[in-house]
Amino acid sequence: MNLLLEEVARATVRLADAGVASPRADAEELAAAVHGVKRSELHTVPDSAFDARFWEGVARREAGEPLQHITGRAFFRYLELKVGPGVFIPRPETEVMVGWALETLHQMDVRDPLVVDLGTGSGAIALSIVQEAPSARVHAVEKDPTAFVYATRNVEELDLRGRVRLHLADFADALQELNGTVDLVISNPPYIPMSEWEYVPPEVRDHDPAAALWGGGDDGLDAIRTVERTARRLLRPGGHVAVEHSDMQGNAVYWVFAEEHGWRDVRNHRDLTDRDRFVTARLAVE
């Protein structure tokens, strides 16, 4: 075993003792990021190239700092994204909602579907859609300036400026010029009620931006209610919406998309852990 793999094994024990949920994977990812290789290539790093900064990263991870803040990158579907303090770290659960959106776009009889991503953060959803649905055009809205910088960097580094248009705006009233023309609205908005503060893992509540976590209102659903109103304004008749929520909010979010507001085919969808994760609906055709 080479030196780096030995150090990764030692780091795995330290991270496990610190309560890190995936100590081996995190140790390998830290080593890969520091040494500029893929995790599968760690064995190729010669002993002479071992970088002691690896242990700095291990210490930060032991202290509860998110892995993605240390490495500066997050993986989402087929993307590697720039992330860091001030932008929400995309989660695997959201990948399932993006998969639904891509399937829905594929089934549409629309040559160049128009998509809006509300609260884009790092740009993970918007960029995945244009990468995997080449004919789609996406308008991505983000009101936080720090998160907007990360989204801009990711769009530019992936050279997708012509297909993802970013807007620094509040999604409550953004994109008035697109009213009634959008084929699909998708959003992973903040949805945690403040009453749940003590139950949110410190790694999340102390490092992810507050504006991306706390949804507002006693039930945490104020931001989702705003998404519903904005989607109703933006969508064409027959257009679709998808919005993420916590695994305890599926029933409540279902009723946000009420039939009297023009919604049809409202459905709950489950994530990879078989928990309620997002709701979809279709705007009625008059």
d(CA 74, CA 154): 11
Query: Was 28 annotated as part of a binding site?
Result: no
- Distance (Å, whole) CA 13 – CA 277: 33
User: 187 among the known binding-site residues?
Assistant: no
Does 190 carry a binding-site annotation? yes
How do strand 182-187 and strand 235-244 relate by DSSP bridges?
Answer: parallel
Residue 189 assigned ligand-binding role: yes
Residue 219: closest CA among 256, 274, 264: 256
- With b for 16 or more beta-carbon neighbours within 10 A and e for fewer, the 122-146 pattern comes to bbbbbbbbbbbbeebbbbbbbbbee
Least Cα distance to 139 among 246, 266, 231 occurs for 231
> Is 135 part of any known ligand binding site?
no
Rounded CA gap, 263 and 184, in Å? 14
268 is in an annotated binding site: no
Residues identified as active-site: 88, 188-189
Q: Which of 116, 163, 171 is nearest to 143 (CA)?
A: 171
DSSP state for residue 285 in the 8-state scheme? P
Does 121 show up as a binding residue in the annotation?
yes
278 is in an annotated binding site: no
- Please check if 120 is assigned to a binding site: yes
User: Is 181 flagged in the annotation as binding?
Assistant: no
Residues tagged in the binding site annotation for S-adenosyl-L-methionine: 119-123, 142, 171, 188
Binding site for substrate, residues? 188-191
Binding positions = 119-123, 142, 171, 188-191
